[in-house]
Chain A
Amino acid sequence: MGESFHAAAGPALLAVWPISEPVSVAHYMAVGAVMFVAGVVCMAVKRNALGVLMGIELVLNGANINFVALSSPYLRGLGDPGGGLGLDGQVTALFVILLAAAEAAVALAITLNFYNNHATVDVDRGEDLKG
């Protein structure tokens, strides 16, 4: 992906801003990247455990957007000679959603327990295992 993206999208973004061309795979990927970075920043700066969890959701869903975007038939070429449904990205995204749900359940349980023990959800207070 790297070569074409860098070669085509870079000058084009600077040149045609605001939106003047049809929505393409690159746009989706831009949204995913923004979500991903927002999630990471959220995780890094939030002290509230729930905030961190939200950051995690953002990261995961940013990744999902990328999966779905890169699964686009336009990108892959129509009439895929390899056969198949061409839904690989979507399926992976569904797995990630499933995983995120399970992870959220576990994480929330940990958070509840953490609250029970420390009367707070500030992740900076959770340093009992520090070496």
Chain B
Amino acid sequence: MDASSTLPFLLGLAWLAPLVSFAAILFYGPRMGPHGRDAARLATAAIATSLVLSLLAAGVWVSNHPVVAVSHGGADHGAVGDDGAAGPGGAADGHQEAAAAGESAHGHADDGHGAGGHGAPLPPSYSGDWYTLYEAGGLTLSIGWWIDALTVLMFVVVTLIATCIHVYASGYMHDELHDVTDHEVTLADGHHLHRPGRFPRFFQALSLFCFSMLGIVIAGNLAMVFIFWELVGICSWFLIGFYFERHSASTAANKAFIVNRVGDFGMLIGLMALWGALGTLHFGDRVVADDLGTPVNRQGLFSLVRPPARGHALTVPDGMVAAEAAADVAAIVRTGAADPAAAATAVAANVEGWRSRGLGRWLLFVAGVGIFCGCVGKSAQFPLFVWLPDAMEGPTPVSALVHSATMVAAGVYLVGRFYPVLTPDVLFVIAVIGAITLFIAATIALVANDIKRVLAYSTVSQLGYMMLALGVGGWAAGLFHLVTHAFFKSLLFLCSGSVIHACHTNDMRRMGGLLRTMPATAWTMLVGCLAIIGAGIPFVIGTSGYYSKDAILAQALSFANANPGRGWLFLAVAGGAFLTAFYMFRLWFMTFLGSPRDHHVAEHAHESPDVMVRPLLVLAVLAVVAGWTLPGGFGIANLIEQARPAGTGGIESSGYLFPGLTIPAEHESHVGAVHVTATLTAFATATAGVLLAAAMYWWKILSPGLVAGLFRPVYTFLANRWYVDELYDAVFVKPVLALAGLASGADRRIIDRIIDGVAWSARRIAGIDAWIDRWVVDGLVDATADVTWNAGLELKKLQTGRLRQYVLFIALGTVALFVLVSFLYRTALAG
């Protein structure tokens, strides 16, 4: 099996299947069975097809690139290098073969003295373009692929979770099969809104959502990422605003979209910085024909920033150096204008000097932070996390999809994908943002009472974990947590959806004692809770979260050891772990244990239908086993490790904006001292959190009300979500509205007045003109007509029709003429 052609084919099909479903439902949705019932089957079939194809692709991948254990000793790097070195040869994709081979040759030539012991193996990857959208000068916009272990893994995760959610949603959304009376919308006449069901429409948007997310995952260049980035944004707008008649839902949809736009603005700046200085947005190298038709290798972003010739060490690309040294370049070109080729050589000769002066680093920093800005928006990081809790207005399956496999995962995925280009300074910014996010969100989740909002803030907090992990150098740890989190967060959301489906309320204060009525939901949700807090028997076995969260903690600790002044990041992580355990078990205890608080709700509660429970079971199993590594070394963690970008994973200690910053090598975190401390910390904090929650909500030793009373100001502060919404309202929304009011006032008072004045004058002038027209021009014409008419009337009387009269007239006329002529004749003679 030739992986270089099989993988793009399989994953391309997997990517397009949901698009087919979207298009079919778009055009034929309402005609698919009664009330469009079959739309769900089509969408589910499409995403299941994607899942099968993704699994096939994963099989192809694993058979070509066996997943083996990565050993953590420093001395073992040679082995990793050899393993990786086998990759590029087989990996080189048809037309790329020459280029890739050349690269690997360079890489190995420099191994000895360039990369400081890190073999810098090329991770096996395939890239290429399916279709070129647009090509002008150096700019190439294309639909292409970049496939490595991470792509394949994300495909499997996204399609697997999406399939579960599709199945679940076909049960959850059954209300939409008939006319719906929305009790949350009251019309002007006092009745509730009554509307037709929108079943096909839901699955149509869901299909498009999956297609967009898979597009981001497979994208081979940043422009394509951006296209699907925005598609994901618009899909979230459709789905969050699914109940768009509800004011809260439409507002939440708009908020999500607008807040994301703020982040995307930064992303656009990053794209411009990259393209302006480097002239390409492709991740991988491409072979293109130059003007003479000779194939040349055009470097992609990854090899520009981490050139194979320098052993994949982070290097500011020539384009960025030259862009920042524009003045010097201009001077050289001005003096050597007679010979452009010589000037170009002179510039090239100087680049190294400029680079050593630090030119271009700022541009690289801006590019990295810009791209990260987009991820801040999509992955709901501080300060743009406000949209995610509001996004709970959408139907619960949407929340599950948005919060686990798509949308928010996109941001973390892009940071992971773009990781080679990020400088240590950018990474530190990412880590700080992640730490702030995880702490703020976790504290808000402590006091939230809406079951979905607790989960929403928990998602924000976990995303903070991932960002922090990526930021402190834990590339594999962050992405590993992304995958495990996708499983248990979708599980938790679907469980909460099941609870809401049964209770018809989101308020945990009205639940309680549901363990007896809905055991399947309760136990699967317990599995989810255990997974998210990272429960496990230390050093033996645990849920998926145990592995990923330990990796993050270990990396954060390793970072804290390397940067003594920045150790608070580790405290944030450990504190976050405690808070996570507390609020998750608070949720579970409040919902499922104790006696029912609201009998009305308890009587209604019932276990959900099988179609909803089965996905829960699948996801519960996955939430447990996803983190496991089989004895042979097969496991998600090692699969991710296969995709580690060339040159990353080593120590990066070149603080530019933050002096003394050191990003520790990730394998350092597996060293015993660090790893054991981290695992014990995680276990201790999680246990403490669970015990505190049990004491307050299960055993009722501590009264929550009493605690809240003790810390009244803090409680109020948290219950109001740190007043972030109020702050944004005061700082951004109100001033913008005021400015808009001012502008509309100016429009109405000044511009409209001027236009009204012009119109008034024109009307007056037209009045005068009309008067002249009516009385002068028309008057003349009318007068002529009147005279003619009256003359005709008078002359008519002469035409009597009496022949004899005419004869008389003729005779008399002749005589009169005769007399007249004779008279004149005489007078003339006399004269």
Contacts and interface: CB of A to CB of B under 8 A. Distances in A.
Contact of B800 (A44, A46, A127): A127
B801 A40 contact: no
B804 A130 contact: no
Interface in A96-119: none
B811 A40 contact: yes
Interface string B764-805: 000000000000000000000000000000011101111110
A124 B804 contact: yes
A130 B808 contact: no
A46, A124, A128: which has the most chain B beta carbons within 10 Å? A124
A126 interface: yes
A43 B801 contact: no
A44, A45, A123, A130: which has the most chain B beta carbons within 10 Å? A44
Interface in A20-69: 40, 43-47, 52
Nearest to A122: B803
Contacts of B75: none
Nearest to B800: A130
A10 interface: no
Nearest to B803: A123
B811 A124 contact: no
A16 interface: no
A43, A46, A52, A128: which has the most chain B beta carbons within 10 Å? A43
B829 to A, nearest CB: 11
A128 B803 CA distance: 12
Chain B binding site: helix, strand, loop or mixed by DSSP? helix
A83 B796 CA distance: 53
A60 to B, nearest CB: 14
B802 A45 contact: no
B807 A43 contact: yes
Given A40-B811, A44-B811, A129 B804 contact: no
A126 B795 CA distance: 19
A131 interface: yes
Contacts of A124: 802-804
A128 B800 CA distance: 10
Interface range on chain B (Cβ under 8 Å from partner): 10 to 19
A122 to B, nearest CB: 10
Contact of A123 (B795, B799, B804): B804
A131 B804 contact: no
Nearest to A49: B803
A40 B799 contact: no
A131 B799 contact: yes
Interface string B451-475: 0000000000000000000000000
A130 B799 contact: yes
Nearest to A131: B796
A59 B811 CA distance: 11
Contacts of A128: 801
Contacts of A52: 803-804, 807
A44 B800 CA distance: 14
B807 A40 contact: yes
Interface in B344-360: none
A126 B804 CA distance: 11
A40 B811 CA distance: 7
A98 to B, nearest CB: 23
Contacts of B797: 131
A43 B804 contact: yes
B807 A129 contact: no
A27 B40 CA distance: 130
Contacts of A43: 804, 807
Contacts of A127: 800-802
Contacts of A123: 802-804
A44 B795 CA distance: 22
A44 B801 contact: no
A75 to B, nearest CB: 21
B341 to A, nearest CB: 103
A72 to B, nearest CB: 23
A45 B811 CA distance: 12
Contacts of A130: 799-801
Contacts of B807: 40, 43-44, 52
A21 B797 CA distance: 51
B559 to A, nearest CB: 117
Contacts of B796: 131
A52 B801 CA distance: 15
Interface string A65-102: 00000000000000000000000000000000000000
B799 A126 contact: no
Nearest to B815: A40
Contacts of B795: 131
Interface string B320-344: 0000000000000000000000000
B820 to A, nearest CB: 15
Contacts of B803: 52, 123-124, 126
B236 to A, nearest CB: 88
B827 to A, nearest CB: 15
A45 B807 CA distance: 9
Contacts of B799: 129-131
A33 to B, nearest CB: 13
Contact of A47 (B800, B801, B804, B808): B804
Contacts of B802: 123-124, 127
Interface string B80-102: 00000000000000000000000
A73 B472 CA distance: 149
Nearest to A55: B807
A127 B796 CA distance: 13
Nearest to A56: B807
A130 B800 CA distance: 5
Nearest to A2: B822
Contacts of A47: 804
A47 B804 CA distance: 8
A130 B801 CA distance: 5
Nearest to A45: B804
A11 B804 CA distance: 35
Contacts of B808: 44
Interface string B698-712: 000000000000000
A46 B800 CA distance: 17
Contacts of A46: 804
Given A129-B799, A130-B801, 15 more contacts: A40-B807, A47-B804, A52-B803, A123-B802, A124-B803, A124-B804, A126-B801, A127-B800, A127-B802, A128-B801, A129-B801, A130-B800, A131-B795, A131-B796, A131-B799
Interface of B: 795-797, 799-804, 807-808, 811
Nearest 6 pairs between A and B by C-beta? Answer: A127-B801, A130-B801, A131-B796, A123-B803, A131-B799, A43-B807
10 contacts: A44-B804, A44-B807, A45-B804, A46-B804, A123-B802, A127-B801, A130-B799, A130-B800, A131-B797, A131-B799
